[in-house]
Structure 1
Amino acid sequence: MCGIAGLWTPAGHDQDTPRHAEAMADQLEHRGPDGRGFHFDPANGLAMAHTRLSIIGLNAGDQPLHGRSDDGTGGLVASVNGEFYDYKRLRGLLRTDGFQFSTRSDSEIALKLYAKHGLDFVEHLRGEFAFALFDEERQPLILVRDRFGIRPLFVHHGPRGVIWGSEIKALLAHPDVPRDVCPRAQLHQMMQVMVPGMTLYQGIEAVKPGTMLIIEKAGDSVSVREERYWDANFPREGEHDIKSDDDHIEAVRAALVESITFRLEADVPVACYLSGGIDSCSILGMAAAIQQSPVKAFTISFDDARYDEAHIATEMAQMAGADQDILKLKAEDLYGSNFENAIRYSERTFYNTLGVAKMLMSKHVREVGYKVVITGEGSDELFGGYAQFKADLFLHDPEYAATPAAQEMRERNALFSGSVLAEEAISHPAFEDVMGFTPSWIQPWMLTLERVKPLLSEEFKAKLGDYDPIAAIAHSLDPAMLEGRHVLDKVQYSWIKTMLEGQILNWGGDRVDMANSLESRPAFLDHHVAELAMRIPPQVRVRGGVEKWVVREAMKHVLPRVLYEREKFAFMAPPAHTDAKKTAEIDKLIARWLSPERLAAKGLFDPAKLGAAIADYRASDDHAQNTRMDIILNHAIGLHAVEELLV
């Protein structure tokens, strides 16, 4: 796990290029505190920077990596962030083809696979990664991001060439990268959902998941071609794998055993994150069985029993014989400078302080001596775990529509009304056109947008013109991946392409973990597991009203009964309005970042209208509406703070 950055200016470097590369690396120190390396090629106008977090090959994995002239990889240089799994088998195969290795690092296989397969080399890579590879002879620069976007990668294409980095702040450290904020991106962050590839800054894009950029010389500048090498391709209706339940269950179990086994491999100790959900508990149970020794398990505990799952996590830890470490978080822990730091490292806003809690957990994990954790992200996305997904099944699939499960689910999840579940149905013609319905997962954010619009300043609304953020999100989805698919597959695909990368894997994953130099490995997002899950029929993923049915059955032998029988419960931190201490803490942030003077200077909100909305919120006892206002305030604080925090 590392940080990468670089620039390619074919017209040549200027004398300040080494200093600029150093400045970019400085911004990625937290991603790689164990070492740094540079590659400067003035003749080709190339500079690469790498900051290293040593996980595999602790004393022999310095980067950037260079090819060997005696095995045909001479003239190749790469800078890699992440992990390639199954690399030992691949090294063995490559050695039989005459390739030589100079390190024990898994990263080196990228050079050899490219030399052997050309651009098809990405098909052979398994893991979580983002990297840059330059071919000096053929002259393409290739930027690659893993299939789900677990590892971040950003790029700026300017008149002189391209500049890239693991985080936006690394790009902003280079003087050729503009700092102009995009009003459309600000609007998207106010409603939580981003368009794939969009960032807060104009001219800085995120490399999309499952995509590589092939960058070639074009005179004194470059041309950029985007090529998608992988997508979440669900089968058409009627084309899912037809097997017995037992066969599906055993296939899921075997795939997860392999994925977790790979992710336990490291030259440093590996721990697990453990909440009270099936996913992290399954990971812990399987890791303990595979390792056949106690596993260190880290659990977050909130000071509000309605949101706290620590007691269930403890039952799982005891069953697995794990060494559990519980981090207890109070109201004041989730706001103040911790809230601001989470914004700085996430480089975007967030609707809930869960990201702050996870950042504090990653700090604690590092303080007790761990660099790597295995996590449960991705199971809900692949096996139909979210209440929003079930809501669409109950509405649009005749097999589920007649059951009483929909109303029962809504009653059990009333706590999350106003956040992940909409308190009223809302639709949009763009989604109706693209998907045939408006998915339940986006409806709460559409309601958030409707509440935000009246609070915006006339100046900001003029910048937006007639821009429709909901239509932009809908039209970013590939119709070919939706046509002829089952309703569950459609909602899972639309979530995977938007919220998984933009939220779950950002301020709920890599960005807040790597804030403290901690590598997180989401075992469910191994693409072999994912491709298996997508082929499983919807009625096996969700059986009756039971979400992730096939995962429950596959993991039944390692789960406590209370967890095996438990419905999915959204893992989030208590919103600010839920007790007086949290309200007092968010009020301090409001006073700092949303003062009338700051509001007027930034120009996003009408100060009087936002002030009146805050006053109404403080006087209200409507849980759903107050939850939605908590969301708006979190985003508003973030948008007024983020530019200053990224300096």
Structure 2
Amino acid sequence: MCGIAGVFTSSKSNNIDSQILVNMAAIQHHRGPDNYGYCNPANVGVGMSHSRLSIIDLNEDRGRQPFFLEGTVIFAHNGEFYDYQRIRAELTAKGLNFSSKSDSEIVPWLFKKEGIDKALEQLRGEFAFSLYDEQEDALYLVRDRFGIKPLYWTNTGDEIVFGSEVKVVLTHPKVKAEIDTQGLFHQLIQVMVPGTTAFKGISQVEPGHMLKITRKNGKFSIETTKYWDMDFPELAMRPQHSDDYYISGVRKHLLEAVQLRLNADVPVGCYLSGGIDSCCILGLASAASQEPIKAFTIAFDNKDYDETPIATEMAESVGAEQEILELNAELLYDNFERTIWHTERTIYNTLAVAKLMMSQQVRHVNYKVVLTGEGSDELFAGYPAFRKDMFLHGMEGVSSEQAKAWQKALEENNKLFQGAMLPKDEYICEQINNKVGFTPSCLQPWLSCSGTAKQLLHHSRREEIAGYEPGEAIAEKLDCNYLSGRHPLDKAQYVWIKTMLEGQILTWGGDRVDMANSMEARPAFLDHKLAEFATLIPPEMRIKGSREKHVLREAVKGVIPETLYNREKFAFMAPPAHTDDKKWQKLKSLLNEFASPRQLEDAKLIDAGFLEVLIKRQESDVTSEAEKIQNDALLNHVLGVMILHHHFVAQDISEKAYNKAQALGWTI
């Protein structure tokens, strides 16, 4: 894993300032502290830079990027490609000469030999890359199928500026940092519109998408292509196979995904919670590895949220060496500000802080790579919201009384997550209903915050979004071609994948807090070969009766403890602030530091009066637990917004980047 950056100007005669490219690498030094490089040939109007985290081919000279092939292709890559040895061998047999043992170098050679479309078909892994082809005079910006690796960009009119993080884009002197009003609103309600950010004019390349940017007569032409999506078969086209076909298929594809991700020139560990996802990854990795696997576990100081005992049982069952990081209020909130600097978006729960602290612990014991369980709930319908939607919209051959009984039990067993993972009240969005057929339960808790979020906005911002419907904006980004004719559970999973997975789990729960400490996470479940097989699994095998992830449980039954095999899904979440007075006082202290009435009025983002109302509601004995969980999220978002303003708007990122380059000795 690394960080990439670059500038593509509107004319070949506009040369790129080398120091700007180096500054862009320096501001993301945490993504790649092992080496850096840049490339900006004269009279090409293109420059790229790269900060490197050495994992494959540790040779500093051979693995240095950007690659500049035969004077016609410039390429920079962030991520990992699996099965690259086979591709490299096939290309070598065709007469191509590689300069490194790096997995990254296969892409420019595939592009030159077979073109971008056929190259993308062969890439397996998590990646974001930039590729300039002089023959076409075109820049390609490409992001992996699920959006595991980030890629941001903006158009100043004269330049396309891009990078692995927002702060990289803001390093360019022509890019102004400004909080976008609609982006601000979506920060407060947690769920983002796919492809957007909190910052005006700065977009993300969407998962499974490619931008091709060409220039002519001083202007850019930008073509966006979707090259992959999560394609559940239509009901009428769904194949019929035996249960064993699906169970053995999941086992086969998951084991292959794990084996591929154990490939590294450095030691590989595993994240381990008490859930089936990380436990089966550890079990399969331990079975496939010749050496014991190191397992890393987060322990919370609240037994209602702590899963350490089950994680320890799993670690002991496979002989893994377990590292347990115990986290309390002081650690979580003392690192909140640092977490927002890295996530570049708000967080509703301090789980993001916990993940950042865990990646720090991983590096502390000299590990750079871990396998993780993200993606399992998305493929196999593990979240409580999926079961709720299945009970409401997707049960066939089950009496309404039985479905209601299962739903009641679901809500009773998940009281800790009502207001966050489950809606506390039903919320219907007409535009999403029209597109999907119903409003998925995963979106309801956040869309239902819209009224409160609008009251939280500063009055000047509130006027800008009068009549704006966040659900409508999200609905417009959902592709009917992948919703029409599908089972309700397929639809619910598809919507989650397009919104919550990329915008939350893979951002502030994944890459950004992992790479904050120069650590690479590899989510084996998000191997696209496994995902494509998972789309074929009948809904009633993903959720069988009231049992979630049935097919996965059966596939990994032999590698997990019986306790876990029989255990209901428990959402992994840090304890909210209101559950402990120390946490609550810490949160209020941070609000006083970053969101004082004076700061709020200067920033003109948040309404000081209504923020005070919300705090008083949180301290009231008459406020329900579900409402407090939702208010806790809103207060975390407010704090995050003000920290974003403090670090990205009120301060000069360009100056920060140059100072970082100076400190590293990277001045030219």
CA deviations on 1:100-131 (whole Å, 9 max, x unpaired) are 21100000100111112212111111100000
2: CA distance, partners of 1:222 / 1:475: 25
1: CA distance, partners of 2:184 / 2:533: 37
| Conservation of the 8 A alpha-carbon contact between 1:161 and 1:221 | no
Deviation of the 1:597 alpha carbon: 1.1
| Conservation of the 8 A alpha-carbon contact between 2:15 and 2:44 | no
1: CA distance, partners of 2:384 / 2:238: 23
Q: Does 1:149 align with 2:147?
A: yes
Deviation of the 1:536 alpha carbon: 1.0
| Conservation of the 8 A alpha-carbon contact between 1:316 and 1:560 | yes
Query: How many residues were matched structurally?
Result: 641
Aligned to 1:289: 287
Q: Does 1:496 align with 2:497?
A: yes
Aligned to 1:347: 344
2: CA distance, partners of 1:547 / 1:396: 16
SS of alignment partner, residue 613 of structure 1: helix
Displaced runs of 4+ in structure 1, greater than 4 A?
Answer: 12-16
SS of alignment partner, residue 371 of structure 2: strand
CA deviations on 1:309-352 (whole Å, 9 max, x unpaired) are 0111000001111000000001111113x101110100000100
1: CA distance, partners of 2:613 / 2:384: 33
2: CA distance, partners of 1:324 / 1:347: 31
Aligned to 2:166: 168
Deviation of the 1:133 alpha carbon: 0.8
Aligned to 2:395: 398
* Unpaired stretches in structure 2, ≥5 consecutive residues: 654-668
Deviation of the 1:16 alpha carbon: 6.9
| Conservation of the 8 A alpha-carbon contact between 1:9 and 1:221 | no
| Structure 2 counterparts to residues 206-605 of structure 1, below 5 A | 206-336=204-334, 338-399=335-396, 400=398, 401=400, 402-403=402-403, 404-605=405-606
Higher mean C-alpha deviation, range 212-221 or range 448-457: 448-457
1: CA distance, partners of 2:65 / 2:92: 21
Aligned to 1:194: 192
| Conservation of the 8 A alpha-carbon contact between 2:16 and 2:45 | no
Shift in alpha-carbon separation, 1:11–1:553, aligned structure 2, 3 A? same
Deviation of the 1:361 alpha carbon: 0.3
| Conservation of the 8 A alpha-carbon contact between 1:235 and 1:534 | yes
SS of alignment partner, residue 76 of structure 2: strand
1: CA distance, partners of 2:291 / 2:576: 38
1: CA distance, partners of 2:13 / 2:646: 30
Higher mean C-alpha deviation, range 599-608 or range 294-303: 599-608
SS of alignment partner, residue 49 of structure 2: strand
CA deviations on 1:281-313 (whole Å, 9 max, x unpaired) are 000000000004310000000000000001110
| Conservation of the 8 A alpha-carbon contact between 2:7 and 2:46 | yes
Which residue identity does 2:637 align to in structure 1? H
Please report the RMSD computed on the Cα atoms of aligned residues, expressed in angstroms: 1.3
| Conservation of the 8 A alpha-carbon contact between 1:10 and 1:44 | no
Aligned to 2:662: none
Q: Does 1:64 align with 2:66?
A: yes
| Conservation of the 8 A alpha-carbon contact between 2:447 and 2:470 | no
2: CA distance, partners of 1:603 / 1:123: 47
CA deviations on 1:190-235 (whole Å, 9 max, x unpaired) are 0000001101111111000001110111212321111110011110
1: CA distance, partners of 2:346 / 2:556: 35
Deviation of the 1:455 alpha carbon: 3.4
1: CA distance, partners of 2:188 / 2:141: 30
Which residue identity does 1:439 align to in structure 2? P
Deviation of the 1:451 alpha carbon: 2.5
Deviation of the 1:453 alpha carbon: 2.6
SS of alignment partner, residue 422 of structure 1: coil
Aligned to 1:26: 26
2: CA distance, partners of 1:291 / 1:22: 39
| Conservation of the 8 A alpha-carbon contact between 2:248 and 2:555 | yes
2: CA distance, partners of 1:291 / 1:238: 42
| Conservation of the 8 A alpha-carbon contact between 1:154 and 1:166 | yes
SS of alignment partner, residue 83 of structure 1: strand
| Structure 2 counterparts to residues 62-101 of structure 1, below 5 A | 62-67=64-69, 69=70, 75-101=72-98
2: CA distance, partners of 1:413 / 1:58: 46
Identity %: 49
SS of alignment partner, residue 238 of structure 1: helix
SS of alignment partner, residue 237 of structure 2: coil
SS of alignment partner, residue 252 of structure 2: helix
Deviation of the 1:77 alpha carbon: 1.7
2: CA distance, partners of 1:520 / 1:139: 34
SS of alignment partner, residue 421 of structure 1: coil
Which residue identity does 1:343 align to in structure 2? I
2: CA distance, partners of 1:32 / 1:455: 38
Deviation of the 1:600 alpha carbon: 1.7
Higher mean C-alpha deviation, range 563-572 or range 598-607: 598-607
| Conservation of the 8 A alpha-carbon contact between 1:295 and 1:323 | yes
2: CA distance, partners of 1:35 / 1:476: 38
| Conservation of the 8 A alpha-carbon contact between 2:270 and 2:370 | yes
Higher mean C-alpha deviation, range 592-601 or range 515-524: 592-601
SS of alignment partner, residue 516 of structure 1: coil
| Conservation of the 8 A alpha-carbon contact between 1:10 and 1:46 | no
2: CA distance, partners of 1:232 / 1:174: 35
Which residue identity does 1:429 align to in structure 2? E
Deviation of the 1:398 alpha carbon: 3.3
* Unpaired stretches in structure 1, ≥5 consecutive residues: none
2: CA distance, partners of 1:242 / 1:35: 51
SS of alignment partner, residue 511 of structure 1: helix
Compute the TM-score of the two structures, normalised by the length of structure 2.
Answer: 0.94
CA deviations on 1:240-265 (whole Å, 9 max, x unpaired) are 33211111111100101110001000
Compute the TM-score of the two structures, normalised by the length of structure 1.
Answer: 0.97
Shift in alpha-carbon separation, 1:570–1:13, aligned structure 2, 3 A? farther
| Conservation of the 8 A alpha-carbon contact between 1:459 and 1:603 | yes
CA deviations on 1:335-382 (whole Å, 9 max, x unpaired) are 13x101110100000100000000000001001000000000001001
Which residue identity does 1:271 align to in structure 2? G
1: CA distance, partners of 2:74 / 2:595: 47
CA deviations on 1:440-482 (whole Å, 9 max, x unpaired) are 1111112222322333332121121321111101121011110
Aligned to 2:5: 5
2: CA distance, partners of 1:237 / 1:311: 41
SS of alignment partner, residue 589 of structure 1: helix
Deviation of the 1:588 alpha carbon: 0.6
SS of alignment partner, residue 263 of structure 2: coil
Higher mean C-alpha deviation, range 446-455 or range 77-86: 446-455
Aligned to 1:624: 626
Shift in alpha-carbon separation, 1:53–1:13, aligned structure 2, 3 A? farther
CA deviations on 1:34-75 (whole Å, 9 max, x unpaired) are 0000101221111110000000000031111122x4xxxx51
Aligned to 1:132: 130
Deviation of the 1:13 alpha carbon: 6.4
Deviation of the 1:76 alpha carbon: 1.4
Shift in alpha-carbon separation, 1:491–1:377, aligned structure 2, 3 A? same
Shift in alpha-carbon separation, 1:481–1:586, aligned structure 2, 3 A? same
Which residue identity does 2:640 align to in structure 1? G
SS of alignment partner, residue 548 of structure 2: coil
Deviation of the 1:238 alpha carbon: 3.5
Deviation of the 1:14 alpha carbon: 5.9
